[in-house]
Amino acid sequence: MRPATSRGAGSADRAERRDECHERKFFRVAHRKPIGVAATLSAGKRLRRHKGIVEDVNWMNDAELIKSQAYCRAQAKAGSRSFYFASFALPKEKRIAAYSVYSFCRYIDDLVDNNPSGSGLSAVEWIQGNFDHIINQDHAELPFAFAFANAVKKYRIEKEPFIALTRGVLMDSGPVTFSNWQDLRRYCYHVASVVGLMMARIFELKDDSGLQQASDLGTAMQLTNILRDVKEDLERDRLYLPLDELKQFGVSRAQLEAGEVDRKFRELMKFQIARARHFYIRAEPAISLLQDDGSQFAVWVMRHVYSGILDEIERIDYDIFKHRVSTSPVRKMQLTSKALLDYSKNRRNRLRVN
């Protein structure tokens, strides 16, 4: 939601500091490691920016930019509780940049989801053709534009992932089905893997050999979303589960639309969950290639909180049709504890090697 126009930049900044303080306390409770967490979260403030990042010393004094950043933060908070929760492990500048990129991605996705008549497609095509102008801040009417442009320039995020995303959301126009896994994986790349590539720049991936794993994490998260949202997507005439795999397990579209959970459906879901977990595991090695300023820990949290949705699907015996599956605040705390253990273990291993 857009912040109230009467709210000044100072007020928005104070609100962010207040929420930041609240969420950091939440993180301390979550993993029962007050000192370790404080050190992890404050590391970004003590760490100087990487030499590859473009400096923009005036951005904090730009009222329009701060207003745009407040809008992006509100979008992230309203649109993805798991992402917003994990983001508080990041240094403030990276957190704001991540919100800004998220807001752009959300805006593009909503153009198609909220305008099925065809006007959304035209709007996405307009974004494709005017991307450079948006980065040059020529379109102040877009509420995310200033914050997004600042993030892209500051962290030198390549143009291609954003254009690939626009191609991906266009794949959601009209009825959606995928014949096989190859088609679904191509879709996942365009709508989710590319987001992993964008975030890899913000989190300062030290070696581009880790880009494939960043892409894999995006795929894992998208597969998780697909399994969680089968009912909601069917209501939009979208079926993302590959048709050949439905046939393989003896599950029909009519059964999905009826919300019928039987042995065949459970076997299908077990197969799909195993695939998603495979991609989460494949993504893990690249996390240690990110800047150790809170970025690594944040991605560990994202990895565990999102994959925790798969655990919840199993816990309810795969009946995803009754209500939208999510992780509770208490469960998020438990998963954050697990993320801290993985982060700490990998950090110790790196120190031993070095």
The three-state DSSP-derived secondary structure of 244-275 is HHHHHHCCCHHHHHHCCCCHHHHHHHHHHHHH
- Considering the entire predicted model, what is its pTM? 0.82
CA 122 to chain centre: 25
Spatial distance between the Cα atoms of 328 and 333, rounded to a whole number of angstroms: 9
Burial 68-100 (b: 16+ CB within 10 A, else e): bbbbbbbbbbebbebbbbbbbbbbebbbbbbbb
pLDDT digits (tens, 9 = 90+) for 24-75: 554 544 433 433 444 433 333 333 333 333 434 344 348 899 999 999 999 9
What is the rounded average pLDDT of the residues 300-324? 97
Tokens of 63: 């009222």
Q: CA–CA separation, 270 vs 57, rounded Å?
A: 51
141/235 Cα distance (integer angstroms) = 32
| Domain coordinates in residue numbering, the chain | 9-165+172-353
Predicted local confidence at residue 352, as pLDDT: 74
The predicted model gives 245-271 an average pLDDT of: 98
Radius of gyration in angstroms for the set of CA atoms belonging to the chain, rounded to a whole number: 20
User: What is the architecture of the domain spanning 9-165+172-353?
Assistant: Orthogonal Bundle (1.10)
pLDDT score, position 350:
76
- Following DSSP, what letter does each residue of 61-100 receive, concatenated? G-HHHHHHHHHHHHHHHHH-HHHHHHHTTS-HHHHHHHHH
